[in-house]
Amino acid sequence: MTYGVIRMMRRRRVRSVLCGLGLAIVAGTAWAGEMTGTISSSEPTKYVLADGTEIWAPDGMRLPQLEEGTKVKVTYEERDGRKVVTGVEPLGN
């Protein structure tokens, strides 16, 4: 192989890796979300917001109990069709 062919192959490999990383970053952020709402019920494994949205605890974890009527900002990830909590910030009543 000539030096020019080797350089071309390296460039293609680097481009492929960079494209793969870019897709992984985009795909990872596409499933994350954030919403605000008011707690209508609080259970150890899920919150239900006033609009009916269910936000679930990650497997094997329990959510902090919040009083009904507490306004919250919730960050979540979509997993198997469910919104799974990654963070909860009470905003007050």
Strand 82-92 and strand 54-56: the pairing is parallel
Does an H or E element contain 12, and which?
A: helix 3-30
C-beta separation of 88 from 64 below 8 A: yes
- What distance in Å separates the CA atoms of residue 46 and residue 58, rounded to the nearest whole number? 9
In tens, the pLDDT along 27-67 reads 544 467 898 999 999 888 889 999 999 999 888 888 888 88
Examine the domain organization and report whether 78 and 54 are in the same domain.
yes
Q: Which domain holds residue 5?
A: 1-30
Average pLDDT rounded to a whole number, residues 15-35: 56
> CB–CB of 42/3 below 8 Å?
no
One domain, residues 60 and 18: no
- Do 36 and 26 fall into the same domain? no
